[in-house]
Amino acid sequence: MRRLRKVKIVATLGPASSDYDTIRALFEAGADVFRLNMSHGDHSEIGERHRIIREIEKDTGRPIGILADLQGPKLRVGVFDGDSAELEEGQAFRLDLDDTPGDSTRVQLPHKEIFEALEPGSSLLVNDGKIRLRVEECGPDHALTSVVVGGTISNRKGVNVPDVVLPLAALSEKDRKDLEFVCRLGVDWLALSFVQRPADVAEARELAQGRAAILSKIEKPAAVKAFDEILAVSDGIMVARGDLGVELPVQNVPPIQKRLVRKCRAAAKPVIVATQMLESMIESPVPTRAEVSDVAAAIYEGTDAVMLSAESAAGSYPIEAVQTMDAVAREVESDPTYLDVIAASRGGPKQSVADGIVSAAREIAETADIKVICSFSQSGKTALLVARERPKVPIIALTSMMGTARRLCLTWGLHCVKVPEVDRFKSAVIAAARAARGEGFADPTDQLVVTAGVPFGQSGTTNILRVAPCDERLILPSDPE
């Protein structure tokens, strides 16, 4: 099953997409990676969805990536007498540790870590920023605030603290249990919420012990400030525009998105643009024009993947949402302007032998009559480097490791194929020729470019390139090993 686009689609599973038929229909419509949201559903439900995905993978013969999205610590106010209260602009409002039901003058905030970090002038945002409070005076167990934006505040609404780094770990006790559960299941990616610093990523990596790749969600201003350091220790990035748009002025989010996508591309690490991409399709069979433009803008930026959340998890039109995203991607990528934009944003000169190999592979493929680039990669690094070049021709990522094939499903342009293990370059060329024909990318009369690292099985050794015929009968016995 060959996709007719380079950008990947991540679809979240949920109540609207939890059975075999629906999940398979989502895959056939274009979903490349499925997201399991650990904020919704118990372990038995998550386990069943994972089982169904692997069954579909077996039935279709195509690797499918699975991303488990950890909830992260949830900061919420307590409860109110009467379930809610009205706050007016300019009034005083107190937050404290007292669990007595609140009213229009005070409420519990059961997170002493927040009080420890607050300073006069800090902002507190409640209910996705609909209520805005400014700290006037604070102590270890309370904060006296003034209401900047009022409205109705109700039980257990979420709290955001945008302008301080909170002394909270990115992993709650629930997250630790969920992480171990999904790693034992065999997910391919762990999405880490509430990332503020590189140490948060290091903690998750230590717990995962190599069983899944770590994808950091950028949803807090502190993460934007420390992005270069967070990117260096992450395997991938999600630009989570929901909380980011709450904690920062909304006009800041588009340029931040562009900068982060470009930095991920330069680092050869996959990046997902997420949140509210086709939000109206939760209830409507067609998206708004603005949503289509938003998806298209992310694709023009060269993002690796675009993501559906509630649209595919709880909406009335999950399959139509994936089909729409697929159609938008195909249309954008057929636009000559897209090729110009991608080429212009490819980046500057590279430093290593591997950089030179993959850059040459792209130039040869685009200059000569080459149908496909075939990249052998055990760890995935060689394929990631080829994808970073954003070549015009298709890329087949060949690996003997199913885990690598599944993880690479998230990366721009990679058609992942599991092949038998090879120990000689000639064998790799033959396997590449067979895959290119078998997967419908080339005919026996065509040529392909093969990249690999020799000796095989050693990560980070991308050091060889060859132009070869797609008919392995033309690969002579005297050809180099």
Does residue 78 fall inside a structural domain?
no
* Cα–Cα distance, 94 to 20 (Å, whole number): 50
Final residue of a structural domain among 160, 181, 204: 160
Q: Indicate which residue of 12, 275, 399, 404 is catalytic.
A: 275
Does residue 206 fall inside a structural domain?
yes
Final residue of a structural domain among 125, 160, 195: 160
- Same domain for 379 and 458, yes or no, is yes
Domain that holds residue 459: 353-474
Question: Is 132 a known active-site residue?
Answer: no
Q: Indicate which residue of 106, 205, 217, 362 is catalytic.
A: 217
Question: Is 275 a known active-site residue?
Answer: yes
pLDDT at 481: 52
Q: Which two tokens stand for residue 109?
A: 């905030």
| Coil, strand or helix at 276 | coil
Does residue 248 fall inside a structural domain?
yes
Does residue 166 fall inside a structural domain?
no
* Cα–Cα distance, 161 to 126 (Å, whole number): 9
**Which residue type, as a one-letter code, is found at position 143?**
A
What phi and psi, each to the nearest 5 degrees, are found at residue 151? 145, -165
Count CB atoms within 10 A of the CB of residue 202.
Answer: 13
The sign one gets for the Cα dihedral 107, 108, 114, 116 is: positive
Q: Indicate which residue of 3, 24, 74, 76 is catalytic.
A: 76
- Same domain for 313 and 175, yes or no, is yes
Does residue 481 fall inside a structural domain?
no
Final residue of a structural domain among 105, 140, 160: 160
- Same domain for 225 and 323, yes or no, is yes
Per-residue pLDDT tens listing for the chain (481 residues) = 799 999 999 999 999 999 999 999 999 999 999 999 999 989 999 999 999 999 999 999 999 999 999 999 999 999 999 999 999 999 999 999 999 999 999 999 999 999 999 999 999 999 989 999 999 999 999 999 999 999 999 999 999 999 889 998 899 999 999 999 999 999 999 999 999 999 999 999 999 999 999 999 999 999 999 999 999 999 999 999 988 999 999 999 999 999 999 999 999 999 999 999 999 999 999 999 999 999 999 999 999 999 999 999 999 999 999 999 999 999 999 999 999 999 888 876 667 888 999 999 999 999 998 999 999 998 999 999 999 999 999 999 999 999 999 999 999 999 999 999 988 888 899 999 999 999 999 999 999 999 988 887 777 678 889 999 998 777 655 455 5
- Same domain for 155 and 284, yes or no, is no
| Residue of 330, 347, 243, 392 lying closest to 8 (CA atoms) | 330
- Same domain for 142 and 243, yes or no, is no
Cis peptide before 140 (omega within 30 of 0): no
The sign one gets for the Cα dihedral 424, 430, 436, 438 is: negative
Q: Indicate which residue of 6, 35, 406, 407 is catalytic.
A: 35
* Cα–Cα distance, 339 to 290 (Å, whole number): 22
* Cα–Cα distance, 200 to 172 (Å, whole number): 11
* Cα–Cα distance, 277 to 246 (Å, whole number): 16
- Same domain for 363 and 324, yes or no, is no
**Total number of domains in the chain:** 3
Segment (H or E) for 343:
helix 336-344
Q: What is the pTM of this model?
A: 0.94
- Same domain for 288 and 179, yes or no, is yes
- Same domain for 198 and 328, yes or no, is yes
Count CB atoms within 10 A of the CB of residue 248.
Answer: 18
- Which tens digit of pLDDT belongs to each residue from 3-17? 999 999 999 999 999
